Every structure is written in C-alpha cells, then in structure tokens.
C-alpha cells in the first residue's frame, strides 16, 4: 500500500512539474501572436527595454554610491 501511495505521489508531482513548465510557454506563445496581430508587440518590447535600462541605471547608481561610502569609510579609519 505504501509503494502505491509513493508512486501516486511521484506521478502527481511529475505531472504538476510538467504542467508548470508547459502552461506558461503555451500562454506566452498565444499572447505574443495576439499582440503581434494587433500591433502592440512593439509597445511591449519598448516597455521591457525601458524597464531593463532603468534597472541597469539604478544598479550603476547604487554601485557608485556604495563605492563612495566604502572610500569614505576607509579614509575615516
């Protein structure tokens, strides 16, 4: 009985992993086709690029700020 429950749990977990991996890809393909058909795909790509550039800019800002604070800390000691 225990082997049956373990095999059932294993099968269920494998099916769940497969569904988690496949469903977003299928939905993404459908949504990209839809956005392409109505011409909004370029808007989506533009927003993603803007967000990516903003994230890179923020990381550069943080890096400079942390470097400045580290240098101040070294000079104070």
Least-confidence region, from 6-15, 37-46, 55-64: 6-15
Q: pLDDT tier at 52 (50, 70, 90 boundaries)?
A: very high
Mutual orientation of helices 2-38 and 41-76 as an angle, nearest 10°? 110
Tens digit of pLDDT for each residue in 11-46?
Answer: 667 777 776 776 666 666 667 677 777 777 788 888
Size of the chain in residues: 77
- Residue scoring higher pLDDT (71 or 21): 71
Query: What's this model's pTM, rounded to 2 decimal places?
Result: 0.52
Q: Between the CA of residue 30 and those of 9, 47, 64, 68, what are the distances in Å?
A: 31, 19, 42, 47
**What residue spans define the domains of the chain?**
1-38, 40-77
């Amino acid at each position: 009985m225990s082997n049956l429950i373990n095999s059932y749990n294993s099968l269920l977990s494998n099916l769940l992993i497969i569904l988690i991996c496949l469903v977003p890809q299928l939905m993404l393909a459908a949504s990209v086709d839809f956005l392409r058909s109505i011409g909004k795909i370029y808007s989506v790509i533009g927003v993603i690029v803007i967000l990516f550039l903003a994230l890179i800019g923020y990381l550069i800002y943080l890096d400079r700020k942390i470097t400045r604070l580290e240098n101040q800390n070294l000079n104070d000691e």
